[in-house]
Chains A and B, each alone.
Chain A
Amino acid sequence: MGKLYHNRFYAMGTRFHALIPGIEETHAERIFYQIKMEVERIESKISRFLPDSDLSRINRLAAKKPVQMDPEMSDILNACHYCWSLTDRAFDSTLRPLMEYWKEDHEDSLNDSDFKNIIDNVGFQHLTLDESDSTVMFDNDQVELDLGGFGKGYALEKVKEMLSDASIDQAFISFGESSILAIGDHPAGDKWRIGMNNYVNPGNTVHEFRVNNGSVSTSSNFFLDDAGRLRNHRHVINPKTGKPHEPFTSVSVSAESPVLAEMLSTAFLVSSDEKINEVMNHYENLEVIRVDYEPGNAIITQF
């Protein structure tokens, strides 16, 4: 029995921590660096920040002509499309132009022709996936894919397979703290106890997920950094209104599949209670927590 191996790297704009208990170090190192390479490979494929990525190529060309995709990219966009229809458009990876729009102050969007132009032209409905020849096409040049609410979960899905292939039966992986994968049980016995941070009561938790071979993903429209400063507000767009989701909300989803948890946490941030319940009926073992933050108060809804 080896001791605890832990290491980290940075990818997708955040930090990735791996904790693997009871493993021999050289074995752990090989797995760790294989994981790192796989995560970097995924990032170099689906990042919109890297001009050479498959995603950037699609964003550049798909409004002009159908763009050929490899099977993996095709699977990814099909998964996004599936989740888009499953969540009744709440999960939509094409809203980047609206995020850019709302980075500036716009008091009265109703009378703004720029806004109307964007809202009329973005949305997954403007994207055509042709499975017969594995192509994607946009019907206008406003559409821009952004896999921000997908990538970390997708990476963890791959990591889960890699850990399983390597016969690693205990591991804890945190990708930016918002996407967590817990394999096997905690070495001290029982499931991993994953607490969700309480932002109005730092150091405390609003909920605890107990996870074995599963994943927890959290989406929120704000972030408090280590110094407690509010950052990154208004980056979540409600596809129904085209406007930023203004209330301070956080949604955590626990699911066996990391990528499903990732997509649903993104979608549920702007979904109605009915819709969340409806989607939950599709899957077994889903657990969903929504936290609505008010000054000094966290209102927790458990689905």
Chain B
Amino acid sequence: MSINRRKFLEMTAALAGTSIMTTTMPWFSVFNNPAPFGMGASDRIRVGIIGVGSRGRALCLNLLELENRMNMKVVAVCDNYEPHYERAIELTHGEAEAFLDYREMIDSVELDAVVIATPLHEHAHMTINCLRAGIHVYCEKAMARTLDDVKAMYDTHQETGNILLIGHQRLFNPVYLEAMDRLRKGDIGPITMLRAWWTRNTDWVFYENTGGRGTALDRQRNWRFYEEFSAGMISELGSHHFQVANWVLGNQPLSVMGSGSINHFTDGREVWDNFSLVFKYPEKIHFSYDCITSNKHNGMQFQVLGNDGTMELESNLQFEEFPEEPPSIQGLIQNIEEGENETIPIGGATWIPDTHLRLGGEYISPGYELDDTLLYLEGFINFVRAGSAPEKLTMEGYNASTWTLLAEEATKTGKEITLPDKYRI
């Protein structure tokens, strides 16, 4: 990892002082200027984890890796589901205190920070109680199940002055950092449209043997299927890309329209198995988004379309609209257009691209092997140590979350939805 890490730090250092680092993505400067700290126990950042399910487990492993190079420690873990509670103890080798109830955890353990990876509808009260208890919060996306909860989380962050970050990991992806820099410089010309999609062919069942859809156990374990707990793929997948769209355009949408249905997985789930959305942005730009779980042909992608080129952010590639033709082809075109048949020196050994080209696309950034979630958590620990994080980072989470819920509303009402003033901040 060291070579990529070095390249990454070179890249962030090179961008220091540019508008990218000062306004668009100020959080990246933390890697070149980490908060100073001592190695003593008194300087140790004490972290708790709430929710050690599929996502929480990955975050826990990331935090354990950070323990090796930062003065921090996972001192408490919590999950109200017995098998995950046991797993959390095992993952932390019994070194972290384990709890079934997070309230008990924040009451009895001294914590600087928590990482929350519970079902969506649980985020709000957990975040709010932690912030009020003086604990900084990293909460998985999206923020909450309702707009009121999203706003309440944000307001509590403001009132308490404690950090609230939402886990949209692309915010810490070096490819996106480089891409934003190139977009600002006009590499692909004026941006005229965004297109993104996330397609899968999966029943999306996280836990089998729950007794089927609708049972209490299924509602608890496969919570993503139930309206009460989740907006389905809109919140679990789409919210990532909605955040990216806001970020690329440096704006939030003016409105969203959409439609969704359950046309294949008619097993009693309550959330769409396919949907389609159109977001309108300022400057007459549209963002078209679709998602499906019954066909994976198109994979997942986020395209930024400009008049001179295209960026495919999920595959780290950039394409030119009008690449310069090789001289032989230029000559031939000129010949044909001028009505002359002259010998064109064209034949020879097979042309092969330079290494930075990949089938016509150019890599956006070489730093694509770094794990963005790990970088985000490293940033978070640094912010905790410093006592504050860039407000723009919190806002990215806020705007992505509000528009996630508005998008859901659009698919349910068929109306063009705008952001009510009371949620505007």
Contact = CB atoms under 8 A, between A and B. Distances in A.
Interface of A: 3-4, 6, 8-11, 13-15, 17, 19, 21, 152, 172, 174, 176-180, 186-190, 192-199, 203-205, 208-209, 216, 218-220, 222-226, 231-232, 250, 252
Contact of A178 (B328, B340, B344, B349): B349
Given A21-B336, A177-B328, 19 more contacts: A6-B325, A6-B333, A10-B353, A11-B359, A17-B325, A19-B332, A19-B333, A172-B332, A178-B350, A178-B351, A188-B335, A188-B339, A188-B340, A193-B341, A193-B343, A218-B347, A218-B348, A223-B351, A250-B348
B346 interface: yes
A10 B351 contact: no
B320 to A, nearest CB: 11
B347 A188 contact: no
A180 B336 contact: no
A186 B353 CA distance: 29
Interface of B: 323, 325-326, 328-329, 332-333, 335-337, 339-354, 359-360
A220 to B, nearest CB: 4
B252 to A, nearest CB: 36
Contact of B349 (A180, A203, A220): A220
B353 A196 contact: no
Contacts of B345: 195-198, 203-205
B349 to A, nearest CB: 4
Nearest to B361: A10
B346 A195 contact: yes
Contacts of A197: 345-348
A205 B336 contact: no
A223 B354 CA distance: 13
A205 B340 CA distance: 18
Contact of A174 (B329, B335, B354): B329
B359 A10 contact: yes
A203 to B, nearest CB: 7
B343 A218 contact: no
Contact of A190 (B328, B336, B341, B353): B341
Given A193-B343, A197-B345, A197-B347, A13 B336 contact: no
A104 to B, nearest CB: 20
Contacts of A208: 343
Contact of A10 (B328, B342, B354, B360): B360
A176 B324 CA distance: 15
A75 B132 CA distance: 72
Nearest to A224: B349
B346 A194 contact: yes
A11 B60 CA distance: 42
Contacts of A216: 347
28 contacts: A6-B329, A8-B323, A9-B360, A10-B359, A15-B326, A17-B325, A19-B329, A19-B333, A174-B328, A174-B346, A177-B328, A177-B348, A177-B350, A178-B351, A186-B336, A188-B335, A189-B341, A192-B341, A194-B344, A195-B344, A195-B345, A196-B348, A208-B343, A218-B349, A225-B352, A226-B326, A250-B348, A252-B347
